[in-house]
Amino acid sequence: MTFSTLGFIFIFLPISLLVYHLIPARKSVWRKAALLIFSVLFYVWGDAPSFVVLLISVLFHYVSGQQIRMLSTEGQEGMRRKAAVITTAAVDVAVLGIFKYSRLDLPVGISFYTFSALSYIFDIYYGRVEDDGNILNEMLYILFFPKLISGPIMQYKDFHEQLVQNTAKNRYFASGMHLFIIGLFKKVLIADNLSTAFHQISSLSQMAGLTAWLGMIFYSLELYFDFSGYSDMAIGLAGMFGFRIEKNFHYPYLSDGVTDFWRRWHISLGAWFRDYVYIPMGGNRCSREKQFRNLAVVWILTGLWHGNTLNFLFWGIYHGFFVILEKFAIGQKRLSIPKWARILLTDLIAFVGWIFFFTPSIGAAFRYIGQMFGADGLGFANSASVYYLTNNLVLLILAVICCGPLLTKLHDALVYRGGKNMIYASVVLHVVLLIFCVANMVGATYSTFLYFRF
């Protein structure tokens, strides 16, 4: 099941919200239990055969976490504690490797829930939580359906604090609905239409340079609106159930450097690698050579996490190269370039990198890059280029505008300064957006989220 389906919006979500909010807030255990049951149903509805793998993972990490919790940090027990963490991480890497690099069907969400489970282990090991061994809290953290399939990868210490202190509040409900509808708009009305345009171009065996550039741009925008739309829906859904999850995207295509881009894109994944890989290896508090090593390891792992082909490894090394280049060679020198030029250059680097996502091999990726510069001998533009540009020009302009905060700032300024009438107008606007999204979902072919395959 995905968020952008009629069954989820009109059956699963209303029932789960109704049951959850009918249970008094003071009966937090019953609320957690109900939310856990709905999370299991959500996963089973979408991928029942893989639920056994998920359940084994949850129980395995709970047992490992409690073993680590009970062992002290002193002497022999401290060594056993460290060995338990290493063993758990090694098992996770092995399981991910088996599923990603074999012919076995990849369980939905395994990359995301495995990292969530490891956060549970690491936060107990580093003493970041006062964990009391409550299995309901651990199971709900990993299985919480808004973030289960494709994140955001909320760290255990952040979720645990809300569970234990019972800080889940209904005040997040309205903002949650707003985010869910905005995310649905991004996915259904922008990303899915960009997907149609991209697949029309990618089906061509030969193309002029402009056609290839358009294909790269359509995919890059589709990926952003697809994944950021999913994240907005996930964060919105969490808010409807009273939980706070931090934003996962912050206008990444307005970044003025590759390092800045990765502070804005898939923020929760970057934070995970920072807190559980980069900093434990020494982070920035070591020699330049070790900093270089730390960054290289993080980016190689980031590439391997995303996929099981050499394309993804190359993509990780590609971005790691630019991050290291900025940090150790360019530094503040880049500030002498106008900001608009830095933004365009950063987007070009990011967009070219996405080519390694949508092509089946490194050779195919470089062939596509060659087509962008006329390798097929069809020149820079032809009738096909003009057709794809003019047919999708309005969509392209809308997507570019929505890559920035302009519409959000305009909406907020009108709502918060315009009194009750503007608040009512905002409600009407959201209802209209929802109607358009539902109408598009009824008439369109089902399109899953891109990051489900990662």
Upstream peptide bond of 280 is cis (omega within 30 degrees of 0): no
Q: What share of the chain is helix, strand, coil (3-state, %, to 5)?
A: 75, 0, 25
Task: Please give the distance of CA 58 from its chain centroid, rounded to a whole number.
Answer: 21
Catalytic residue among 178, 306, 411, 430: 306
Look up 306 and say whether it is catalytic: yes
Tell me 378's DSSP state.
S
Q: From CA 254, how far away is CA 76, in angstroms rounded?
A: 51
Other beta carbons less than 10 A from residue 410's beta carbon:
10
Query: In this structure, what DSSP letter does residue 109 have?
Result: T
- Single-letter amino acid code for the residue at 132: D
Residues with Cβ within 8 Å of 166's Cβ and at least 6 positions away in sequence, in order, are 25, 28
**In angstroms, rounded to a whole number, what is the distance separating the alpha carbons of residues 124 and 65?**
7
> Does residue 107 contact residue 47 with C-beta atoms inside 8 Å?
yes
* Dihedral pair phi/psi, residue 130, rounded to 5°: -90, 70
Q: Which two tokens stand for residue 109?
A: 């969400």
> Which amino acids are annotated catalytic?
306
